[in-house]
Copies of this chain bind each other. A is one copy, B any other.
Amino acid sequence: MKFLHTSDWHLGRQFHNVSLLDDQALILQQLVDYVRHHPVDAVIVAGDIYDRSVPPTQAIQLLNQVVSDLCQSLNTPVIMIPGNHDGAARLGFAAEQMRASGLYIISDFSQMLEPVVLSSEQAGEVAFYGMPYNDPELVRHHFNVTVSTHDEAHQVLCEKIVEQFDKSQCHVLISHCFVDGAIESESERPLSIGGSDRVSHEHFLPFDYVALGHLHKPQYKGEAFIRYSGSLMKYSFSEQHQKKSMTLVELDKTGFVCTTQIELHAAHEMRIIEGNLADILDQAADDPRPEDYLLIRLTDKHAILDPMEKLRQVYPNVLHIEKPGMLIGIDQEMSTQRLKRNEIDMFKDFFQEAKQEPLTREQEQAIATVIADLKKGEE
């Protein structure tokens, strides 16, 4: 039994006011192409399919295309659960009517207890249990149990599922949660404000493989078979050094699991470039990926006229500029005297940029008078 484990597609996400939908479509095309050339028994999406509970129409159309390609054209079952970003009831509309076509959206607790059973020669029957993302309150209310934390809720849900186990089958769990001790990225939204959102990996030990979603960095925790596939693509600059991938899982009758990371390539990577403006502009010509989504961290200590315009001439997708150098300057020398001098300095820089020549002494005197007058007006 071979299946692909993916998660955290976040279709429809905006990043610094840029829609990532075209990027997401290109990466999902890699997934579809992979399945076309390397058939698998199922594709799993472990939650956060959409970026929000009411996704934009274009995100719905993209998902529609992907499930049509997989379920219809490639005859490959797709199993998904809602994550904390998805609206479970909205995503789960007509889920019952989709199952006959191999699209399994497991969005409520009754569906959770009825596994999707697929079979293959190597692994025999494999039961896929999907645990839709849920707040502890929902678990408490639905099962009438006293749970108040995510960890307690997961314990109850895992026990309920394990009770259903058919010993002749292998068991895969799909869940969207934060396993204690795993590594978070900047682009996840906390599952709980105030309370703890961590769950112990020990609840998952009875399963043969656990396909996790929520954390955006590919990783396993506790056991090698308790695994995050990581997100479809980078969703923050802090993920610049992460490699994004989907996890190919191979499972045999004995419960032996082999996983392989299949790398996914974004049309635009998210990167941070640090340096002074002149150096960055100089070196841009040799940059093999000038179209990437960039955060530029300028180390220049003096004011610069419209750095975004200059940078975008070589890097069209600069999304954000940070000027830590200038911030330090201001923080350290926050006296009226220094500020006054700084304003003249800044004007000098501006003049140099705009006219390509320095201020004369007379001009400097004049501008100092103007600034002093303005200050007086302010007081």
Complex Cα distance, B94 from A103, in Å, reads: 9
Contacts of A99 in B (CB 8 A): 101
Chain A 59-80 interface mask (CB, 8 Å, partner B; 1/0): 0110110011001100000000
Contacts of A64 in B (CB 8 A): 89, 92-94
Say how far A100's CB is from chain B's closest CB, in angstroms.
4
Please give me the residue from chain B that is nearest to A55 by CB atom: B90
Chain A 81-101 interface mask (CB, 8 Å, partner B; 1/0): 000000101101110111111
Of B57, B93, B100, B102, the contact of A60 (CB 8 Å cutoff): B93
Q: What are 29 A-B pairs at a CB distance below 8 A?
A: A54-B54, A57-B87, A57-B89, A57-B90, A60-B89, A60-B90, A61-B89, A63-B93, A64-B89, A64-B92, A64-B93, A67-B97, A71-B96, A72-B96, A72-B97, A93-B93, A94-B94, A94-B98, A94-B103, A96-B101, A97-B98, A97-B101, A97-B102, A97-B103, A98-B98, A98-B101, A100-B100, A100-B101, A101-B101
Please give me the residue from chain B that is nearest to A58 by CB atom: B89
Residues of A within 8 A of B (CB): 54, 57, 60-61, 63-64, 67-68, 71-72, 87, 89-90, 92-94, 96-103
Complex Cα distance, B92 from A60, in Å, reads: 9
12 new A-B contacts, CB < 8 A, other than A64-B92, A72-B96, A94-B98, are A57-B90, A61-B89, A63-B93, A64-B94, A67-B94, A68-B97, A94-B103, A97-B97, A97-B101, A98-B98, A99-B101, A100-B101
Contacts of A68 in B (CB 8 A): 96-97
Say how far A163's CB is from chain B's closest CB, in angstroms.
25
Contacts of A63 in B (CB 8 A): 93
Name which of A57, A63, A99, A102 has the most chain B CB atoms within 10 A of its CB: A57
Name which of A89, A93, A99 has the most chain B CB atoms within 10 A of its CB: A93
Complex Cα distance, B96 from A60, in Å, reads: 14
Say how far A161's CB is from chain B's closest CB, in angstroms.
23
Please give me the residue from chain B that is nearest to A60 by CB atom: B93
Please give me the residue from chain B that is nearest to A64 by CB atom: B93
Complex Cα distance, B98 from A67, in Å, reads: 12
Contacts of A54 in B (CB 8 A): 54
Complex Cα distance, B165 from A285, in Å, reads: 61
Contacts of A57 in B (CB 8 A): 87, 89-90
Contacts of A92 in B (CB 8 A): 64
